[in-house]
Structure 1
Amino acid sequence: MKIFSISIILFIVILILNIPTSIYCSPDCQQQQLSTSATSNNRKSIKTIKLLDYSNSISFQDGVGCTHPIYCTGPILNLIQMSQIFNDSKTFVDMPMKYSSPIIIQYFNTMITNTSSKGGPSKQDLINFVSQNFYPAGYEVEPVKPKDWVPNPTFLNDITNPQLYQFASAIHTKWLDLTRIFNNTGLCIDCFSSIPVSNPFVIAGSRFREFYYWDSYWIIRGLLVSGMTETAKGMLLNFANIITEFGFIPNGGRIYYLNRSQPPLYTQMVKIYFDATNDIQFLEEILPILDLEYQWWMKYRVAKVAKNDQLYTLNLYNVSNQSPRPESYFEDFTGASEFSNLNQRDFYYSSISSAAESGWDFSSRWTSLSDINLSTIQTINILPVDLNSMLYLNEKTLSNFYTILGDTNQAQYYKNQSLSRAIAIENIFWNENINQWIDFNLINSNLEENLNFYTSNLQPLFSDIQQDMSLSDELIDSILKSVSEPLTNYIGGVPTSTVSSGSQFQWDDINSWAPLQYFIIEMLMDVNTTLSTQIGTSLIDRWITTNYCGWKYTLETQGGMMFEKYNVTNVGVPGSGGEYVVQDGFGWTNGVALYLINKYHMFINLNSC
């Protein structure tokens, strides 16, 4: 209550001194907004537009982010979020506006004036203000049936286990629940926080009403298993348009994500689509856009590291930010309040946002080992081994793409980039004392090496670093033996880490996540030693079984839930922790499950429920 009162007083002062006047809607648009009834019943379908011309892409930008006076900054955002009128901070910033920004700002100022005698608006005043001026969260994102969805995809014909068949068929049906299309009919320009796209896309589910960057890799994996190549291609074209407009792919499909990206898996999305379709024309069209994204990472997320008289170029998550994330405003504002120094506060905001950019929000990977707490977060000081492994794989993939298209110069450029990165990964991340690759702390590398197990420690093997490092099968087996406990001793999969870090850190401890299980399983099966295959086949069965049991346990009461994360110690039980309750849906869980069932169904027994 004290924070709420201080917030009201502070922003009444701000309103008096500097009332926002940014215009985000033309006069014609404002008039249209006031006179148009934007109900779902009178909306018209959106026409698909062609891929934008990448030659007209704007110059790369870093840290510009979003300046919208309601969704991203300003007293309205602060007052609504700090009042906590919603249980989830994300709710408000996902609500389209009924009127343009200047009009809503005017209404807000009137409310402030009318309530000044009682010390500012009450929670009920704010609830009424939001109800009168905003549509429900996600209003501009509508369900749509994918044109290429069929009830009985061909991959089901190879599944002989009846329980597994039923499960796979049910997951395939979930694409109908998770596919969306953007529709702004009746809404004025900049009266919503969504980033408009022209083709249908698949969301993660629950509170995640928009597309997300790295989630989409596993979603597309699953769509391709379901034979939904048109939907997959449409999502790739959406991302291509976004790169064309912004120079990079943001964290997700909201303008409040425009200051950060996510793990760079777009090149790998194109690869799995190309592998499935051999669409040469699409590859030719998309390849320059893959170049654009790669150059963004090499310009704005790069660090130079000197070691043994050698200078290495590597990448990190590094968001420039001086304010709370809009979708987690209360949490970030409250967390930063303990810092009296502005530089410390900015460092905190940047590191929090950078952890969100990593996808691992939050993990002890990003904190001080001596005090695992969000107050010690230091993401912008850490070179992540998994990020650099992804970029290494992208460089090899891009070299191969250019080889296919006959461009030997570009093929050689990316080959050289991958070889340089392989050398850097070996010299900067490899720790021979524990036979693993570990993150590198730019500031405290000699004082505080994080030798704990994280699934990311094995990411170089997923990216086939063994080819350039010439790792023998014996060394690979020794690496796997060094982490045999987390790989083999849990009934529900591989834990994210061996660190017990508290409820704020959902990317730690006994939580297991579909993307991380995917990386580990594919690595184990691809390195193809006797030991790796033994562990891999066991893990496939354990992971699909926990997915199946969670679905089965909730089938009668909730229609069969697929969770965002699971507890590795209890089969079928969702994980815990983080800034929000565990989510159902769930895009990447579905995609990984379909991929593994299709490829490895012969190893899946479902005996543990």
Structure 2
Amino acid sequence: MIKKNVDQFKRSLVRTSQRITPINRKDPDELFGHLFHEVQAQQIYQDGKTFVDVVPKKRWRRIQREYLEASKKPDFNLQEFVNQHFHDFNPSHAGHVPQPAESARQHVTQLWPQLRRQAHKASGSLIPLPYDYIVPGGRFSEQFYWDTYFIMLGLAVDNQWGLINGMMKNYSYMIQRFGYIPTANRTYFLSRSQPPFFSAMVKLLATRPRKVGGSSLVLLEYFPLLLTEYKFWMKGHKQLDSADQIATGRVVKMPNGTVLNRYFDNKNTPRPESRREDIETAQKSPNANKAKIYLDLRAGAESGWDFSSRWFGEACCIETIQTTDIVPVDLNCLLYDLEMTIAQCYGILKQKALRKKFIQAAEKRAEAIRTYCWNEATGFFYDYNFRTGRQMPHATLAGVFPLYNGVATKKQAEHVAEMLQREFLRDGGLRMTLVDNGQQWDAPNGWAPLQWVAVCGLKRYGLDELAEEIRTRWLASTERVFADKGKMIEKYDVDSESRIGGGGEYPLQDGFGWTNGVYAALYDRFDERCPK
């Protein structure tokens, strides 16, 4: 009882601080200036994310002054200075070591406590949240936006509804404070969001067995926040009425006048957590506009697919990245779902005119997706480059979102299934793209969230045989790695015998939040509750 009262007090304190204590929204590179640039350039930490997460032992202005003085000395040692002035944000967690007879499914249940965190006070770049949450694991010690939905799937089958509810309250807190859901609760993530799965989270929470109120009560509780989320993604759409402007922020006016969306970021500088890598990419790029390169890298990070050939002009080369020129098929399908969920809420409130308005907006968006993203020749959905007026040439697993969210026609869904069977399906599950270029969101890697999206999308259109084949192969991949390594990992190589994924800007991570969630959901046949 005492612990419960203490936790309630801490949650109240976090919510109160929202009103009386402003968060310092400066990124670590802005706070620490030259010190930050040198630490990242000299790779004092192997992983660039480590330094943006460390906790300063003194006020940042004092550290700056002491650095300016100390760095002038001939025997100055940057590593020693950092060790003296910062401490690790989150010492490594040992994690749950599986017992000899423990299955992968049992292991997932045992991992939830190891991945549970509290953040009742600011700690370096960490933004406090009122409720406990599950982190992905490894280098990721925050409540990440789209990861959380897939984590929640596993929590739901393990009947952890209280934890799900708390994580939803954290998102309520962030939407009320910032006007949107940032990538995660870090100050350096406040300039961007992630794929908008909030409406899916609300509907998942609404499936919780209840004695009173039912799903309608949950939808209405989160309805104002759904509207705020929609406002964030649609900001600037009225500006596109002028004939000489086709894009601003996250909105794009298509040739037929329909407004669709793109991934974006509110800054055009190197990402603090990947400063060295971003500068190297910009230096290699033939584009003289380095700010545009940084913006496209940041937008690629908002997409969650950081990085993939789907954003590149040349499939092999990240320096040709052009994320903000692209209308992504997955983003717009998720916003279709958001519009339909808002319409459902208006229906509950008997607001017929507003319900009709959002249904029409959703239908208009769906028609535009089918117009600009569907390729009849290949029978698949592609991202669309609104600068060139052409579809992107790279087929990616994002093409299953029109099935997942119910945007595709029955015939289109059947063609997508054929393409998945022919080009994407491997022994270990579905690969992300058809390009093998060393990027982590390209072949031969498969990622748990897209396996879920594909399985649910196929089932939605009655394509159960292929859905079951994907489900079976993915579960087998996860179980193979667990049997060999005793771990749930971030991504899997669906072609290799080992199934160990790789590529990207950082080493393979263990944990792993959404792998756990999707595995548990597919194992327990929670896929029967896929979106309908």
TM-score (normalizing by structure 1) = 0.77
Q: Name the CA distance, whole Å, in 1 between partners of 2:135 and 2:191.
A: 21
1:430-486 per-position Cα deviation (integer Å, ceiling 9, x unaligned) = 11111111111112234xx434321111210111114xxxx34x5532332233223
Contact 2:31 2:60 in 1 (8 A): no
The within-5 A match list for 1:395-434 is: 395-434=339-378
Q: Pick closer, same or farther for the CA change 1:413–1:52 going to 2, 3 Å.
A: farther
Contact 1:144 1:200 in 2 (8 A): no
* Match among 85, 91, 100 for residue 133 of structure 1: 85
Matched, 1:353 2:279: no
Q: Name the CA distance, whole Å, in 1 between partners of 2:205 and 2:362.
A: 22
Q: How far did 1:127 drift?
A: 1.2
TM-score (normalizing by structure 2) = 0.87
Contact 1:550 1:561 in 2 (8 A): yes
Q: Pick closer, same or farther for the CA change 1:301–1:551 going to 2, 3 Å.
A: same
Q: Which amino acid aligns with 1:209?
A: S
Contact 1:66 1:257 in 2 (8 A): no
* Match among 184, 206, 211 for residue 138 of structure 2: 206
Q: Secondary structure at the match of 2:208?
A: helix
Q: Which runs of 5+ in 2 are unaligned?
A: 1-5, 236-248
Q: Name the CA distance, whole Å, in 2 between partners of 1:322 and 1:585.
A: 32
Q: Name the CA distance, whole Å, in 1 between partners of 2:114 and 2:429.
A: 27
Q: Which amino acid aligns with 1:410?
A: L
1:268-299 per-position Cα deviation (integer Å, ceiling 9, x unaligned) = 11110112243554433321011101110011
* Match among 394, 406, 415 for residue 338 of structure 2: 394
Q: Secondary structure at the match of 2:253?
A: strand
Q: Name the CA distance, whole Å, in 1 between partners of 2:368 and 2:430.
A: 28
Contact 1:65 1:259 in 2 (8 A): no
* Match among 95, 107, 121 for residue 170 of structure 1: 107
* Match among 558, 579, 590 for residue 505 of structure 2: 579
Where does residue 239 of structure 2 map in the other structure? none
Matched, 1:103 2:29: no
1:343-375 per-position Cα deviation (integer Å, ceiling 9, x unaligned) = 610010000000000000001111113x63111
Q: Name the CA distance, whole Å, in 1 between partners of 2:458 and 2:384.
A: 24
Q: Which amino acid aligns with 2:417?
A: L
Q: Secondary structure at the match of 1:483?
A: helix
Matched, 1:509 2:436: no
1:71-111 per-position Cα deviation (integer Å, ceiling 9, x unaligned) = 66621211111110111000011001111111111111111
Matched, 1:113 2:72: yes
Q: How far did 1:320 drift?
A: 3.7
Where does residue 401 of structure 2 map in the other structure? 459
Where does residue 286 of structure 1 map in the other structure? 222
Contact 2:154 2:521 in 1 (8 A): yes
Where does residue 365 of structure 1 map in the other structure? 310
Q: How far did 1:414 drift?
A: 1.9
Q: Pick closer, same or farther for the CA change 1:198–1:595 going to 2, 3 Å.
A: same
Q: Pick closer, same or farther for the CA change 1:391–1:50 going to 2, 3 Å.
A: farther
Q: Name the CA distance, whole Å, in 2 between partners of 1:363 and 1:394.
A: 25
Where does residue 536 of structure 1 map in the other structure? 467
Q: How far did 1:376 drift?
A: 0.6
The within-5 A match list for 1:176-325 is: 176-184=113-121, 192-277=124-209, 278=214, 280-299=216-235, 300-306=249-255, 310-325=256-271
Where does residue 13 of structure 1 map in the other structure? none
Q: Name the CA distance, whole Å, in 2 between partners of 1:203 and 1:130.
A: 26
Where does residue 337 of structure 1 map in the other structure? 283
Matched, 1:566 2:492: yes
Where does residue 37 of structure 2 map in the other structure? 78
Q: Name the CA distance, whole Å, in 1 between partners of 2:429 and 2:115.
A: 25
Matched, 1:483 2:432: no
Contact 2:14 2:129 in 1 (8 A): no
Where does residue 10 of structure 2 map in the other structure? 47
Q: How far did 1:495 drift?
A: 0.6
**RMSD of equivalent CA atoms:** 2.9
Q: Name the CA distance, whole Å, in 2 between partners of 1:527 and 1:285.
A: 31
Q: How far did 1:176 drift?
A: 1.1
Q: Pick closer, same or farther for the CA change 1:293–1:600 going to 2, 3 Å.
A: closer
Greater shift in the superposed pair: 313-322 or 405-414: 405-414
Q: How far did 1:113 drift?
A: 2.4
Where does residue 496 of structure 1 map in the other structure? 432
| Higher-Rg member (1/2) | 1
Q: Which amino acid aligns with 2:269?
A: S
Q: Name the CA distance, whole Å, in 2 between partners of 1:401 and 1:235.
A: 21
Q: Name the CA distance, whole Å, in 2 between partners of 1:108 and 1:79.
A: 11
Q: Name the CA distance, whole Å, in 2 between partners of 1:113 and 1:413.
A: 64
Q: Secondary structure at the match of 2:354?
A: helix
Q: Which runs of 5+ in 1 are unaligned?
A: 1-43, 57-63, 146-162, 555-559, 603-609
1:522-562 per-position Cα deviation (integer Å, ceiling 9, x unaligned) = 1111211xxx21111111110011111111111xxxxx210
Q: Name the CA distance, whole Å, in 2 between partners of 1:578 and 1:351.
A: 16
How many positions carry a matched residue from both structures?
499
Q: Secondary structure at the match of 2:224?
A: helix
Q: Secondary structure at the match of 2:257?
A: strand
Q: Name the CA distance, whole Å, in 1 between partners of 2:41 and 2:25.
A: 20
Q: Pick closer, same or farther for the CA change 1:339–1:427 going to 2, 3 Å.
A: closer
Matched, 1:518 2:452: yes
Q: Which amino acid aligns with 1:205?
A: G
Q: Which amino acid aligns with 1:105?
A: Q
Q: How far did 1:305 drift?
A: 1.2
Q: Which amino acid aligns with 1:392?
A: Y
Q: How far did 1:408 drift?
A: 3.0
Q: How far did 1:417 drift?
A: 1.4
Q: Which amino acid aligns with 1:108?
A: Y
Contact 1:96 1:138 in 2 (8 A): no
Contact 1:51 1:237 in 2 (8 A): no
Q: Pick closer, same or farther for the CA change 1:384–1:312 going to 2, 3 Å.
A: same
Contact 1:65 1:257 in 2 (8 A): no
Q: Which amino acid aligns with 1:373?
A: C
Greater shift in the superposed pair: 224-233 or 390-399: 390-399
Q: How far did 1:319 drift?
A: 1.6
Q: Name the CA distance, whole Å, in 1 between partners of 2:195 and 2:273.
A: 19
Q: Name the CA distance, whole Å, in 1 between partners of 2:126 and 2:514.
A: 21
Q: Secondary structure at the match of 2:466?
A: helix
* Match among 238, 254, 274 for residue 328 of structure 1: 274
Q: Secondary structure at the match of 2:206?
A: helix
Where does residue 599 of structure 1 map in the other structure? 525
Q: How far did 1:410 drift?
A: 3.4
Where does residue 52 of structure 2 map in the other structure? 93
Q: Pick closer, same or farther for the CA change 1:295–1:131 going to 2, 3 Å.
A: same
Q: Name the CA distance, whole Å, in 1 between partners of 2:132 and 2:370.
A: 41
Matched, 1:67 2:16: no
Q: Pick closer, same or farther for the CA change 1:400–1:281 going to 2, 3 Å.
A: closer
